[in-house]
Amino acid sequence: MDKKSLTALARQQLKLARTATSGRSSQTIYGGHQRSLRQTVVALTAGEQLAEHDSPGEATLQVLTGTLTLIAGEDSWKGSTGDLLVIPASRHRVEAVEDVAFLLTVAK
């Protein structure tokens, strides 16, 4: 069994995002291209975003710290610490309202 602290990983990725010119950082903590399930901790500084893209499969995001907005077309959902959002199958983007770290889970 492999145990990880999501709190520590969120803190680490936010620290990296704050020093990156892109204002973001991520680390896949489980799975990857060789598995059907992938979990990645993503951090964005306030005002940064993950540009609009298609979902590669079923996906959720769990906000570990901070606040974000998930936007798909005309629809949007606000997520704060502790919230779990189901990512729609349509094109979508994520915007950081404030510095945010979230766990992205994708099943392909």
Q: What is the CATH number of the domain that holds 93?
A: 2.60.120.10
C-alpha span between 74 and 1 (Å, rounded): 42
pLDDT band at 33 (very low <50, low <70, confident <90, very high): confident
Total domains in the chain come to 1
- Render pLDDT for 35-94 as a digit per residue (tens, 0 to 9): 899 999 999 999 999 999 998 789 999 999 999 999 999 999 999 999 999 999 999 999
Strand order in the sheet with 24-31: 24-31, 37-44, 100-107, 58-65, 84-87
Query: Does residue 84 fall inside a structural domain?
Result: yes
Domain with 26, as residue range(s), is 6-107
For the chain, what percentages of helix, strand and coil (3-state, to nearest 5) are there?
Answer: 15, 55, 35
Query: Does residue 11 fall inside a structural domain?
Result: yes
Query: Does residue 100 fall inside a structural domain?
Result: yes
Query: Does residue 1 fall inside a structural domain?
Result: no
- C-alpha of 39 from chain center: 9
pTM of the model: 0.94
Start-to-end Cα distance in the chain: 23
